[in-house]
Chain A
C-alpha cells in the first residue's frame, strides 16, 4: 500500500524567510496530494492541494510542487509570519479510493 514520508519533523525559520517541507510517496498510482495545517488544539485544515496532472500550484504565499518521476512533492511558504507557526501534514491518495495516507507531520516554528 501507499506510504508517505515527510521531512523535516521540526523546522525553525526566521520571520520573513521561506520554509520548505518535503514529502515522498511510494504508490505511483497516487494522483491527489493535499497539505493540511493543524493549529494547537484544532483539527487539520486544508491549505492547498495538487493533482498529478499539474506540476505546481500557488496561492498567495503558499505553493506546492510535484515531481511525479521522483514521487515527491513539497510545500513552500514565503515571507513567513508568526501565524504560520503550526504543524503541517502532507497526504496522498489514489484514484481507487478517497482514503488519504498521511505523513507524520512537520512542526513549523517562526522565530520573531
Chain B
C-alpha cells in the first residue's frame, strides 16, 4: 500500500523543454490535485480532477496541462518549461467522504 507516489523526485530542464510529472495512487480516491509550492507562498492549486475523465483549472493553471488517465493516475505536463516554473510539485488525493487530502512526496523541478 504505497499511498500516493510521484515520479521523478528531481528534474532539471532547460527553458523550452517539455516534460510530464507522474502521479499514481492506490487509495481508490476519486479526487486528485496538483499543487506547486514556492518559498513563502504556501501551496497553490494548479489543476484538480473530481473524478476520472474530468479536470478543472485551479488558481495557477497557465503553462500546464493535465490528464486523468484513469482513476489511479493524474499527470501534469509542462509543454514549454520556463524558469518561473521552478518549484516543488505535489500531487494529492481525497476521498469523497472526507476533506482530508493525502500528499505524495513531491517532485523538485528546476528550469534553467
Task: List residues of A whose CB falls within 8 A of some B CB.
Answer: 4, 6, 9, 32, 34, 41-46, 49, 89, 93, 98-100, 102-105
Report how many residues on chain B are interfacial, defined by Cβ distance under 8 Å: 20
B74 to chain A, nearest CB (A): 15
Which of B4, B42, B94, B103 interacts with A104 by CB under 8 Å? B42
Task: List residues of B whose CB falls within 8 A of some A CB.
Answer: 4, 31, 40-45, 48, 58, 90, 92, 94, 99-101, 103-106
Q: Please determine whether B42 and A99 come into contact, CB atoms closer than 8 angstroms.
A: no
Which of A43, A44, A49 interacts with B99 by CB under 8 Å? A49
Given A41-B105, A46-B100, A98-B31, the answer on whether A89 and B94 have CB atoms closer than 8 Å is no
| CB-defined contacts of A105 to chain B, threshold 8 Å | 40, 42
| CB-defined contacts of B44 to chain A, threshold 8 Å | 102
Separation of A65 and B6 alpha carbons in the complex (Å): 34
Q: Please determine whether B105 and A46 come into contact, CB atoms closer than 8 angstroms.
A: no
Which of A41, A45, A98, A104 interacts with B41 by CB under 8 Å? A104
